Chain A
Amino acid sequence: MGVLCGSMSTDSPATTEAILQSISDGVFTVDEAWCITSFNRAAEKITGVTREEAMGKPCSEVFRSSMCEGACALRKTLETGQPMIAHPCFLVNADGERIPASISTSVLKDKNGKVIGGVETFRDLSELETLRKQISGQYTLGDLVSQSRAMQPVFEMTTSVAHSDITALIHGDTGTGKELLARAIHGMSSRAGKPFVAINCAALPDTLLESELFGYKKGAFTGAIKDREGRFAQAKGGTIFLDEIGEISPSVQVRLLRVLQERTYEPLGSNETHRSDARIIAATHRNLSALVASGEFREDLYYRVNVIRIDLPPLRERKEDLPLLVNHFIERFNRLHNKSIEGLSFGANSLLMGYDWPGNVRELENMIERAFVLCNGSTIEIRHLPQELQGSASAENGSIVPDIGTARRSAEAQAIFKTLEKNNFNRFAAARELGIHKTTLYRKIKALGLRLPS
């Protein structure tokens, strides 16, 4: 069937409408009073506002962009007659989501050339922004680095928490970076210029913890030969970080509750009441609500501490951060040890991906530092890594003994990698040598997180 071109008028209202409705960019027009006169389907989708709801309403209340109030692009275009092209901004949709967008504007004239309003087109850049972050973006927060989706809520929550003085509870396994996060909150807060005082509540016996926290007067106990101020006093105007708060005894819990409720305390051996204006950040690896249920932790203290809770995911749930963290530690240790190690060998990297990291980021950091000592070349090889990563269950130098699953995965990752390497990364040949089906090999490569040359 032949196509008859030019049979349809391109400037008819019906054609214009059809074009507007079919494009993926949002388009709306306004009259000279800034009220919406047309609103296409894509605009409905991006803003979450239906055409019926939008028509006749002020464009700033429909579009809700970051530019509406102070730097309206359409106003500028109508004032100068100059169009604006792809101007970045964000808009807030009906669900309160922040939508990154780019907008373009132009003057709308009638047949006689008289200005009758303006037209604005806008493009949703959400997907593009997500991709950009995935490809190049890394999120840093103080000394925490991540590009993992699992860490995004942590970063978002931290920004909010930092701007307030509320007590925060950080929950996470050992080695996930609880103190680093607390330091980041302090560093982003208005207290950044004041002291950050950290104390590990589990490291000190009861009586010592009390005197450490609240200080003591001369003669309060044997050996108290002079007054000593406690950590709360040292943290004046700043932040006090109480690590492992789940380990403190009932008597210290009572005293801590009073500080949280009334902001006051008395040093040991003193009748004088001191005020504390330090912001409190607590952390634990334990389930505090379970401790409350078992009577080991006071319920009233729990609610005082758990105003805002930030959960740090374990490293095994954000393995995509491993290359980033490895680079971060290599850069740091290169500076510290005056070396110029460039990175990990392919095999060593693969082993890291196959490991479960029970000791989390701290274990990774220790492992890289250990490799720095052993490595004299420019690349950290498998032989520089601890035995547990190489599939052996033997632990050395106090490192953590892996469970059987971790050991099996490490051994499997190593065997697969070596076979692939031997076969020039030919998957079919490697599968045959390993005695498994090609699809099983693919499945295992994926499950173990092995990164192979493309």
Chain B
Amino acid sequence: MKVAITEWQGRVAPVFDVAGTVLILESKTGQALETAPLPLGDPHSKLVYLTERGVHILICGAITRLMLDYAETLGIRISPFVSGEIDEVWTAWRNGTLDEACYSMPGCRRCRRRKGQCK
């Protein structure tokens, strides 16, 4: 299963809707498959691009509700409002600890809970 993390300066990119780079990884092996530029402009095209790449899970920073709903219709599961260094976030996701408060963007812990991302 392919997992994508939007990246900026070694950390999860702050806003998905304007993110420029994505890191695509394989969940089974834990290996990074590629770092790719995301389409510019319309944020819908970023999600379509990820679908075309066979991505099933997206870990990202802040994301607008419209994009969150659209990802759902495309069948992409999202862990939104995540912050932290890419390596740490990836390890946390593989260990099932991404829901911990230290990986939530400031002020977004409740938000992620409401969206059913946190246990």
The answer on a CB contact under 8 Å between B107 and A166 is: no
The answer on a CB contact under 8 Å between B20 and A69 is: yes
Interface-centre pick from B70, B83, B107 (highest chain A CB count, 10 A): B107
- With A47-B107, A69-B8: A96-B15 Cβ-Cβ less than 8 Å: no
Q: How many residues of A contact B (CB 8 A)?
A: 34
Residues of B within 8 A of A64 (CB): 14-15, 61-62, 105
B17's partner among A50, A66, A95, A166 (CB-CB below 8 A) is A66
Q: Is A98's CB within 8 Å of the partner chain B? A: yes
The answer on a CB contact under 8 Å between B106 and A57 is: yes
Q: Is A405's CB within 8 Å of the partner chain B? A: no
Contact with A along B4-15 (1 / 0, CB 8 A): 000010010111
Residues of B within 8 A of A159 (CB): 44
B111's partner among A50, A57, A94 (CB-CB below 8 A) is A94
Nearest-neighbour CB distance to chain B for A258, whole angstroms, equals 22
Q: Is B18's CB within 8 Å of the partner chain A? A: yes
Q: Is A92's CB within 8 Å of the partner chain B? A: yes
The answer on a CB contact under 8 Å between A54 and B69 is: no
B54-79 with Cβ < 8 A to chain A: 61-66, 68-70, 73-74
CA distance A69 to B106 in the complex (A): 17
CA distance A48 to B109 in the complex (A): 11
Nearest-neighbour CB distance to chain B for A268, whole angstroms, equals 34
CA distance A60 to B19 in the complex (A): 12
CA distance A166 to B69 in the complex (A): 14
The answer on a CB contact under 8 Å between A96 and B106 is: no
Nearest-neighbour CB distance to chain A for B34, whole angstroms, equals 20
CA distance A62 to B14 in the complex (A): 9
The answer on a CB contact under 8 Å between A95 and B20 is: no
Q: Is A306's CB within 8 Å of the partner chain B? A: no
The answer on a CB contact under 8 Å between B19 and A69 is: yes
Residues of A within 8 A of B108 (CB): 94
Residues of A within 8 A of B68 (CB): 96
Q: Is A146's CB within 8 Å of the partner chain B? A: no
Interface-centre pick from B15, B17, B65 (highest chain A CB count, 10 A): B15
- With A95-B111, A96-B62, A96-B80: A53-B18 Cβ-Cβ less than 8 Å: no
Q: Is B118's CB within 8 Å of the partner chain A? A: no
B20-66 with Cβ < 8 A to chain A: 20, 42, 44-45, 47-48, 51, 61-66
What is the chain A residue whose CB lies nearest that of B105?
Answer: A61
Residues of B within 8 A of A91 (CB): 15
Q: Is B94's CB within 8 Å of the partner chain A? A: no
Q: Is A263's CB within 8 Å of the partner chain B? A: no
The answer on a CB contact under 8 Å between B106 and A49 is: yes
The answer on a CB contact under 8 Å between B14 and A160 is: no
Contact with A along B79-119 (1 / 0, CB 8 A): 01101000000000000000000000111101100000000
CA distance A155 to B15 in the complex (A): 23
- With A68-B15, A160-B70: A92-B64 Cβ-Cβ less than 8 Å: yes
Q: How many A-B residue pairs have CB under 8 A?
A: 96
What is the chain B residue whose CB lies nearest that of A159?
Answer: B44
The answer on a CB contact under 8 Å between B106 and A160 is: no
- With A50-B107, A92-B63, A96-B62: A60-B14 Cβ-Cβ less than 8 Å: yes
Interface-centre pick from A47, A69, A70 (highest chain B CB count, 10 A): A69
The answer on a CB contact under 8 Å between A96 and B61 is: no
A54-110 with Cβ < 8 A to chain B: 54, 57-58, 60-66, 68-70, 91-92, 94-98
Residues of B within 8 A of A47 (CB): 107
The answer on a CB contact under 8 Å between A53 and B15 is: no
Residues of B within 8 A of A70 (CB): 18, 20
Residues of A within 8 A of B107 (CB): 47-50, 53-54, 62, 94
Residues of A within 8 A of B64 (CB): 92, 96-98
CA distance A91 to B69 in the complex (A): 18
What is the chain A residue whose CB lies nearest that of B68?
Answer: A96
Residues of A within 8 A of B44 (CB): 159-160, 163
What is the chain A residue whose CB lies nearest that of B40?
Answer: A70
Q: Is A3's CB within 8 Å of the partner chain B? A: no
A353-404 with Cβ < 8 A to chain B: none
- With A66-B15, A69-B8, A164-B48: A156-B66 Cβ-Cβ less than 8 Å: yes
Binding site for A on B (CB under 8 A): 8, 11, 13-15, 17-20, 42, 44-45, 47-48, 51, 61-66, 68-70, 73-74, 80-81, 83, 105-108, 110-111
A-B contacts besides A60-B8, A92-B62, 15 pairs, CB < 8 Å = A50-B107, A58-B11, A66-B15, A69-B8, A69-B20, A70-B20, A94-B110, A98-B17, A159-B44, A160-B69, A163-B44, A163-B48, A164-B48, A164-B51, A164-B70
A-B contact pairs, 24 of them (CB 8 A): A48-B107, A49-B107, A53-B107, A54-B107, A58-B11, A62-B105, A62-B106, A64-B14, A64-B15, A66-B15, A68-B15, A69-B13, A92-B17, A92-B63, A94-B107, A96-B62, A96-B80, A97-B64, A98-B17, A98-B65, A98-B66, A160-B73, A163-B42, A166-B73
Nearest 9 A-B pairs (CB), nearest first?
A: A49-B107, A163-B44, A92-B62, A96-B65, A64-B62, A53-B106, A60-B14, A94-B107, A160-B70
